[in-house]
Amino acid sequence: MHKISINFSQKWLKILKEILISSTSTIVFFFLDFLDVLFCMLFKFMDEFLEGKGSHCYFSIDDNEASEFSSSSLYKRGNLFRRNNVVRRRKMNENVRWSDCSCVNCVSWMRNDGEELKLHVVVKQPERANAQDFKGKKAQNIVFLHGFLSSSSFWRETIFPNLSEDANKKYRLFAVDLLGFGKSPKPNNCLYTIKDHVEMIESSVIHPFELNSIHIVAHSMGCVVALALAAKHSHSVKSITLIAPPYITSTKEDVSLTALNKLAARRLWPPLLFGSSFMSWYEHLGRCICYIICKHHRIWEGILKWLTWNRNLHFMAIDLTRHTHHSAWHTMHNVICGGAKFMDKYLETLRLAKVKINVIQGSRDQVVPVECSNNVKMKVPDAEVKIVDNADHTSIVIGREKDLCDDLEELWGSQYVRNGNSTS
Residue numbers annotated as active site: 146, 220, 365, 393
Contact 105/190 with Cβ under 8 angstroms? no
308 CB-near residues (< 8 Å, 6+ apart)? none
How far, CA to CA in Å, does 30 sit from each of 57, 205, 278, 331?
19, 45, 12, 25
Rounded-to-integer distance, Cα 145 and Cα 177, Å = 7
Rounded-to-integer distance, Cα 284 and Cα 313, Å = 29
91 burial via Cβ count (<10 Å: 0-12, 13-18, 19+): exposed
Say what angle helices 255-263 and 271-281 make with each other, to 10 degrees: 140
Length of the chain: 424
What three-state secondary structure class fits 173?
A: strand
176: left (phi over 0), alpha (psi -120 to 50) or beta: beta
At 89, the amino acid letter reads: R
Say what angle helices 283-293 and 2-51 make with each other, to 10 degrees: 80
Say what angle helices 271-281 and 283-293 make with each other, to 10 degrees: 110
Rounded-to-integer distance, Cα 310 and Cα 369, Å = 35
